[in-house]
Every structure is written in structure tokens, then in C-alpha cells.
């Protein structure tokens, strides 16, 4: 009797839900049945495509936690985290992190320009390099500019402004 009432309540609930949510629930339930039939004599075995489907469903459907039966929702969240880490490790393509190296000739040219033109800042030198056809970012230019030492503050006594006895 209780199962009949639960079925009636779930049917009534489905009348007020959106059509997209119903289709997603049907897809998830059919997928779970397919997985259970596929691995009937053994324990449930999920393929990579099954995991990717659940990761996708967790991103596009708010009610996915209620429809999942064969695994825990925390497991799906863990799969999503693992997929996120795999994506970013692929994206940086291990071994090539960061910006590409600036050739030595360009670094020397930046140093020469900054030494010979002390009033030019990184934007000016960057513009001149772009005119020469050298494509480099302004922050890289500022990184390789020659740093000038600031003169020490002269105290009034050493300049002869102070009173001496």
C-alpha cells in the first residue's frame, strides 16, 4: 500500500515539473537500468562514458541527486573533481608551464634600449619593439629592463646646509 502512495505522489509531482527535468530524469533512470543489465552477474561496473554522463548531468540538472541510485552523489562529485584536475593537467601539457622563454638577443635589446633611453618606460620600449616586429608583452619588457639605482638621500649636514661649530 505504501509503495502505491509513493508512486501516486511521485506521479503528481511530475505533473508540475518542467518537461526538460522529466526528460533528464527519464534519461538517468534508463541509463541506470542499462548499467545494471550490462553488469548483472557481477557488481556494478561503470565505464568512463557512464561517469562522464553523470558529471554532465550534475552540471545541467539540479535534481540529479534524487535520481541517482547506483552510486552515491559524493562519488559523482569526486569524479567531477578528478575530471577537472585531468583537464587542467592536459591544458598545461606538463613540461611547458608559464610563458615561453624570451630569446637572449631580445633581452639584450631591451636592456640596451632601457640603458640608452633612461626616460623611456616599458610602454614606450614595448611600442618600439612592436614597430620592429618583435611580439612580446609589456610585462616581459618591464621584467628585462635595466634597473637603475636611486641615488641615496643627501642629508642636510653633508650638503653644507647644517650648522657646524
Sign of CA dihedral 9, 71, 63, 15: negative
Q: pTM here?
A: 0.39
- Per-residue pLDDT, averaged over 77-105, amounts to 81
CA distances from 100 to 88, 108, 140, 146 (A): 18, 17, 11, 21
Question: Is the predicted pLDDT of residue 130 greater than 80, yes or no?
Answer: yes
> Would you state the torsion angle of the CA atoms of residues 100, 105, 106, 112, taken in this order, to the nearest 10 degrees?
150
Cα–Cα distance measured from residue 72 to residue 75, given in angstroms and rounded to the nearest whole number: 5
Per-residue pLDDT of 99-127, as tens digits, reads 778 899 999 999 999 999 989 999 999 99
- Phi and psi torsions of 18, nearest 5°: -75, 160
Q: What are the tens digits of pLDDT across the range 4-37?
A: 666 666 666 666 677 888 788 888 888 887 777 7
More confident residue, 64 or 142: 142
Which pLDDT tens digit goes with each residue over 147-157?
A: 877 776 766 56
Cβ neighbours for 146, distance < 8 A, ≥ 6 positions apart: 111, 114, 115
Contact (CB, 8 A) for 63 and 91: no
Candidates 141, 131, 128; CA nearest to 99 is 141
Strands (E), the chain: none
Amino acid at each position: 500500500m505504501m509503495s502505491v502512495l509513493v508512486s501516486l505522489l511521485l506521479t503528481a509531482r511530475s505533473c508540475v515539473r518542467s518537461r526538460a527535468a522529466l526528460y533528464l530524469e527519464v534519461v538517468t533512470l534508463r541509463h541506470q537500468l542499462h548499467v545494471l543489465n550490462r553488469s548483472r552477474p557481477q557488481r556494478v561496473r561503470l565505464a568512463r562514458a557512464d561517469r562522464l554522463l553523470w558529471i554532465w548531468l550534475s552540471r545541467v540538472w539540479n535534481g540529479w541527486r534524487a535520481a541517482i541510485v547506483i552510486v552515491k552523489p559524493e562519488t559523482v562529485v569526486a569524479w567531477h573533481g578528478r575530471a577537472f584536475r585531468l583537464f587542467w593537467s592536459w591544458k598545461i601539457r606538463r613540461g611547458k608551464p608559464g610563458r615561453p622563454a624570451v630569446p637572449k638577443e631580445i633581452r639584450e635589446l631591451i636592456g640596451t634600449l632601457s640603458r640608452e633611453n633612461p626616460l623611456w618606460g616599458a610602454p614606450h620600449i614595448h611600442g618600439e619593439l612592436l614597430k620592429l616586429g618583435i611580439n612580446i608583452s609589456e610585462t616581459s619588457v618591464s621584467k628585462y629592463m635595466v634597473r637603475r639605482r636611486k641615488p641615496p638621500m643627501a642629508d642636510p649636514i653633508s650638503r653644507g646646509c647644517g650648522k657646524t661649530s
